Structure 1
Amino acid sequence: MTTQGGEQMMTVLKRLLLIVVLLVPLAITFFGLQVQTVHVHAQQAMPSGSCNDTVSDDAQLFGNRIVDVVNQAKAVNDSLQADTRVVTVSQNTLAGSSLRDYYYYIQSKCPTWGGSNFVVLVLAKGHEPFLHLGSQFSGKMTAADFQQMVLSIRSEFDSGNYAQATIDLLKQVQKKLSPDYTWIWVTLAVLVVLVAGAVLAVILLRRRRAIAVATNAQEQAIRAKQAAVDASSSLSNKIEELSPRIEVLLALIPAVTATQLRGLFETAKEKASTVQERLGNLLSNPDTNPDSKSLQPAYYAQMQRLYQEVYNEAQEPQYLLHAVETAVQRLERNPQEQIDFHQLTTPGLQQEHPRISRPGYSSESTWQGR
């Protein structure tokens, strides 16, 4: 019994050893196949292009419009100073993984794709597009913003127009990430309005000031004209009043007195006629009529000067007529009175007589152009 038991044990051990010898090669072969499978899957997971490609259309979603997608990606780069990449991946390559995981896997193979200025868009049929933004842009757009962009072009994805959908999506991303210069334009617009308002205000103030100066100058010229006209009318009235009285006196007074009285009166009339002729020339000339047109202050000042000269010139015949009137009054009381006409026309005596003044000013005021 003991001998038979030992032989059976030896037989079992030999069989176990044979099984172990057979299982070891099978195990080695199995693990080798697993390593090859993982290696093949890793090769399939990488985009067919290189890390330097702007667009890697592994899933063939863009067809003959891949150039348009590349151009739009470059437009994003030029606008944002970014490095934009677009990758498509097939369902087989994903093998159940998410687009986010696929991006991180690519990033592990292309480390530069994690740069701060990178914009990476990953697409696959049946999956929501995935967008990675580098730190330079990540604060300018939220996941909700991207979802809203995708919803706005959902119909293009559903119809299989992936090239156009990708282009439109990149355009929206570009617009969202573009620097917001609205505040600059608003500030500039406000500044322009303020500057324009200030310039307009200055122009209006200057215009109002110019109008006020011109109006004042015109008023001065009109007053000067009226003063000259009044002085001329006063001369005419005085001559008309004295003429018949003198004609009567000439027959009553001595010949010497009559000659002196007539001479003084004729001198006054001649000088008054000169004043009236000069005033008539001014009044008949449209260029010297301050009421007829709007002119520069300098022109009104010139008119004022001309009318003031007429006014000043009218003072002499006015003084002479006053002397004549004084003589007439004395002779009417006593036709035989000896009149000293020289004394009547001396400057000292004439200064006692009232002078012609502007309307609204006392006769004692000396009228000078301002």
Structure 2
Amino acid sequence: MSGDSYSVLPDFQELRIRSDSQGDVGSEVSSLSHRSSLFSHTTKTKSGPHLEGNLKLYDTIELSSDVMCCRFSDDGAHLAVGMCDGTIKVYNPANCQQLYTCQDEDTSKNRLPVTQIRFRPFVDGEKVEYSHILIASYASGHVKFWHYTSGKCLQTIDEVRQTLALTINPEGTHIITAGAEPQIHKYDMETKQKVNTMEPSDSHDIMDGHRFRVFAVQYNPNHPHVFISGGWDDTVQYWDDRKVHSVKKFIGPHLCGDALDIDPVHNHILTGSWRKTHVLQIWDFAMAVKIKDVPQDTLNHSQLYCAQWLGKDSIICGGTDQNMARTIDRGTLNVSPNDQLQLVYSVVRQGIPHMLGLSSMASRSSSAEKLRQK
């Protein structure tokens, strides 16, 4: 993730979302208010978000299908939302109006979840046709390259597995995919051809790769060939994308979603685990050792599906069980009681300071649980 510049947040900010009914809550798009804002009272809306702290609800987008992931474009001009039925909808964050839909025969036929979305970086001087491209992975095993303003699928890669995670290298020349099998694939962005497969060796004496599902992959912005990954086997693996086996690992996090992030300024790793204890942790990237556990509220716990650094000073995370989405000051790590809300499966910050997006599910027992258990 990029080291975007954000204003310093108060010592503790927490976002709580709660549904007053069991109706659909598609996607909450929330904005962090400026530090000078004194908006700190509780706000409720008919369909649910319950806010506390120095936060302001910008708007709510309600959809007909569960939301699995969301992503802002690099310039913050577009918000892409991936849904359980395989549809991607693109919105204007300024007014929350739907602009485009990405759906084709494959997604309509399979109706399987969109598991990850990434916008292709566009560099000045490139061909115009390279702008407005997003890449999406699906539980069907497809990886699709969309020209989202026209709704046209430019190319499809079929991995013949559940593809659960996707990321782009810092230079924008390759993509990495991971999923239901231990293998991690690297593709050339231009040709869409596979250029490397990273996997564990056959040796039982060394764990130089994953043994189970991989749910998160993340490049280090300071190292163009180095990325990390995590999943069910309770390890975070370090990879050089030019080699076959992982080069290092640490043991601990149990990842079931996009809950792996790197702070390029401090060189710290953030992990969010889907379990009862030790859910949010900070690690030293270079040393591969834990720095600290971020404490949970003693009365209300949440098993995490997603976690990100929010600028250099804060953390945002969300999950299930007690079902909270919250922002936490990185320095004080203060915590306070949490309310219930719909299951939070994705959090993403916008390129514009103070803006973040959340996607939540309409039912705790729906798509995320099924995808995690398969």
Query: Same fold by TM-score, threshold 0.5 exceeded?
Result: no
TM category (shorter chain) comes to: under 0.3
Normalising by the residue count of structure 2, what TM-score does the alignment of the two structures yield?
0.17
Question: Could you say which structure has the larger radius of gyration?
Answer: 1
* Greater relative contact order (Cα < 8 A, sep 6+): 2
